[in-house]
Structure 1
Amino acid sequence: MTATGLRWSRPTPRSRRAVRCRSLRARRSRQNPDGLNLFDSHCHLTDIQFAGDLKAVLRRAFVAGVREMLVASQNVPDSQEAIRLCRNQEGMYCSIGVHPHEADRFRSYDVTTLKELCIEPSIKAIGEIGLDFFRGISARSNQEVAFEVQVELARAMELPMILHVRDAAHRARALLDEHGYHAGVMHCFSGDAKMADWAVERGYYISFAGNLTYDGRLAEVARRIPHERLMVETDAPYLAPEPERGERNEPALIVNTVRHLAGVLDLTPRETAELTRDNARRCFRTSD
């Protein structure tokens, strides 16, 4: 991934607080003393929060050591935008799919569109897909329909899935076992040890985001996961890690999560960056 080369609109005016925050991030991300080579396995760079300064965000990521990233999608138009963003950009990949929050608007023809999009070489996964019973933004029945159809799409396209599961572990496990297709990653993992063990037994990767840095319960889960199944992500612009918690997240801040995970695993930051990068490459088959 290059630090420049994309053209974006001029940043819109921001509050002084936001500007100070951005400056702080820029100063911190200029340094990469550990020589890290990072893979942000899940970010939403098509989000409107990046509309004004995406080029600067990408530059900061590059300086911080992020060399690869996967841009995840939430609906069909978002999938199309992710493809446009990642097309012909070294180190930038994307996934396509319909998020459970979008399930009420999911239609059968969306699957046809997604299938047609799969010819794009930058597409490395179907997602993010799954079940979210926490917020109840979409009806559970509609979530299940959208989820099951997209699991079968992933199988047909021989692509891994990026799975979003929140307050729906039992039902998600049942549906995935029923379909018998187990390839992909549990993104932004927030489940318990039982869910983690189930996922690892079936060959899924487990990806941790910035909430790992402030949720001690997740550290205990991370310690029980085989190193060859661990990945990291930002889920930007959401879930910024400490000490940036509450601010807009961005790929450069994955360094904070990697360093925290290194402490949890008793590894060096470089070792942690390398193992999570290599795992992401295997999961998404980016080095074939």
Structure 2
Amino acid sequence: MQRNIIDAHIHFDHYKENEQQMIVQSMDRWNIKGLITVSQDLPSAEKNLLLAKTYSGIYPAFGYHPEQSLPDETELAAFFDWIAEHEKEMVAIGEVGLPYYMRRDNKQIKLEKYIELLEQFILLAKRYDKPIILHAVYEDTSIVCDLLEKHSVRKAHFHWFKGDEKTVERMLENGYYISFTPDIVYEKEIQALAARYPLEQIMVETDGPWPFAGLFEGKLTEPKMIHESLKMIALIKKMELQQVYHEIYENTLTFFKLKLK
């Protein structure tokens, strides 16, 4: 018997309409109680809000994904005004962070303006008392931790996190959460991180429709894949599977203050 799960990070608006319908229709079968759907920009946030009003179990987060060009001042002001208008309808600020992969491919990209934008979103999260969903990996994470600490923001979720031991220790001390994608089933680096991080600060996600390898090769990324992630976490932690399901489910409910529909 499958236990309850929540996908803590999915780009639901990026799926085709027929794929969205298929996922929603299969949620009861796979005991998927909710999808935290993150936004790319204002049009993405508008789509996610509409999806949340269309389908039960969809919980939107509003943010500007960092792996793209910066918005101009007019675009950003319009987005912040829109968030202010709809802040009661979002469960988090996200996805926001720093452009690690874009900078890796283009050394000319300057980080300062991205840091300024991230700080504005951190202040929004604090103003509206919402958790923040972060795209920050490797050396970028210390910059993000500096900003979170500066503004005393502790409800932080680093999705698909990767980083060194010193950074992990800092995140643990601050009570930050991380989430694991289906790549935990086959990636040794991610398995090692799962062994290190305490269960009470862990969630699970798909980051769909991002594709995965291994037994997921060639398959549409769906929330039901999380069941395989949870089995691997239980194996790594040497814990009863039922306990892992229960704690991660409760972690997610509490972190996002979800009142399931």
TM norm structure 2: 0.88
> 1:15-74 deviations in whole A, cap 9, x for unaligned?
xxxxxxxxxxxxxxxxxxx33111111111100x43332211222333122112211111
Matches within 5 A, 1:68-217: 68-87=34-53, 89-107=55-73, 108-109=76-77, 110-120=79-89, 123-136=90-103, 139-167=110-138, 168-217=140-189
Report the identity percentage.
Answer: 24
Aligned to 1:13: none
Q: In the superposition, relative to structure 1, how do residues 287 and 119 fare at CA in structure 2: closer, same or farther (>3 Å)?
A: closer
2:200 alignment counterpart: 228
Matched to 1:80, the amino acid is E
Name the CA distance, whole Å, in 2 between partners of 1:245 and 1:231.
23
Kept in 2: contact 1:130–1:172 (CA 8 A): yes
Give the drift of 1:246.
5.1
- Structure 2, gaps ≥5 residues long: none
* Cα separation, 1, equivalents of 2:166 and 2:27: 34
C-alpha separation in 2, matches of 1:142 and 1:249: 33
Q: How many residues align?
A: 252
Q: CA deviation at 1:114?
A: 1.8
Indicate if the aligned counterparts of 1:75 and 1:102 stay in contact, CA closer than 8 A.
no
TM superposition outliers: structure 1 runs of 4+ over 4 Å: none
Residue 24 of structure 1 is matched in structure 2 by none
Provide the alpha-carbon RMSD of the alignment: 2.1
| Residue identity opposite 2:40 in structure 1 | Q
| TM-score after normalising by structure 1 | 0.80
Task: Give 1:255's aligned residue.
Answer: 227
Q: Distance in 2 between matches of 1:193 and 1:218?
A: 13
2:28 is equivalent to residue 62 of structure 1: yes
Are 1:213 and 1:241, in contact at CA under 8 Å, matched by a contact in 2?
no
Cα distance in 2, alignment partners of residues 88 and 134 from structure 1 = 33
Residue identity in the other structure for 2:171: A
